[in-house]
Structure 1
Amino acid sequence: MIVGIGVDLVDIARFERTLERTPRLLERLFSPAERELKPRSLAARYAAKEALIKALGGSDGVHWTEIEVTPEASGRPWFTLTGSTSAAVVERGITTLHLSMSHDAGFATAYVIAESETAR
């Protein structure tokens, strides 16, 4: 059963300017592995993390660096959650997260669906 949906859209150029003005955002928003990526990929991951928070219904117990977007061998993006963020997802009864991301024409977008085995 779907228990949450989240979507986010990021202007890549604006996001890149924000990172240039505030370099510490990289450490606050992204895992060490993600920090090595190009700005368009970081913008898509930022959108994914925002969409996840929306699908969860809020940010209680969620920490940005505990959410990592990791690609499967096929390239399909997937969330790798750790710490209190992983616990928050479990506490909400969420058993499956679906993620889709894209970037084109200066924008990055992400869509997340959260599923539970039972209605809450």
Structure 2
Amino acid sequence: MIVGVGIDVVDVARFGEALQRTPALAERVFTAAERGLPLASLAARFAAKEALAKSLGAPRGLSWHDAEVHREDSGRPVLRVTGSVAARAAELGVASLHVSLSHDAGIASAVVVAEAAAPPRPPAGEGAP
């Protein structure tokens, strides 16, 4: 069962200008592991964190560092959540998070789907119309 969906789009050049204008922004938004990535990848990760917040209802108090985008050996991106983000996901009954990232033509984008475990099925003959 889908709990929430979030999407975000980032202009890569504009995001790069923001990082140059406010050097502390990178430390505030990205974990140490993320900060060494190329600009387009950073913009996509920023979009993923924004999309994740939207999929969880965009509550106040989520920490940027409590969400991190990793890549599996296959290259597939995955979200790892801890702290405030994990607590909000648990509050909503989220069992899994799905993320898709893209960057092309100066734009980075991300979509996040927050999914709860499927409700248990009633035994055969019970609860069926």
Query: What is the TM-score with the length of structure 2 in the denominator?
Result: 0.88
| Residue 58 of structure 1: how far off its partner (Å) | 1.3
Q: Which amino acid in the other structure matches residue 11 of structure 1? A: D
| Residue 77 of structure 1: how far off its partner (Å) | 0.3
Q: Which amino acid in the other structure matches residue 86 of structure 2? A: S
What is the SS of the residue equivalent to 1:60? coil
CA contact (8 A) 1:61 1:88 kept: no
Q: How many residues are treated as equivalent by the alignment?
A: 119
**For residue 39 of structure 2, what is the aligned residue in structure 1?**
39
Q: Which amino acid in the other structure matches residue 30 of structure 2? A: F
| Residue 92 of structure 1: how far off its partner (Å) | 1.3
Provide structure 1 residue ranges, at least 5 long, that are not aligned to the other structure: none
Larger radius of gyration: 2
1:50-106 CA deviation, whole Å, 9 max, x = no partner? Answer: 000110011334210111000011010001111222122111111111100000000
What stretches of structure 1 move > 3 A for 4+ residues in a row?
none
RMSD: 1.2
Provide structure 2 residue ranges, at least 5 long, that are not aligned to the other structure: 120-129
Query: What is the TM-score with the length of structure 1 in the denominator?
Result: 0.94
Identity of aligned residues (%): 55
**For residue 52 of structure 1, what is the aligned residue in structure 2?**
52
Distance 1:92 1:60, change over 3 A: farther
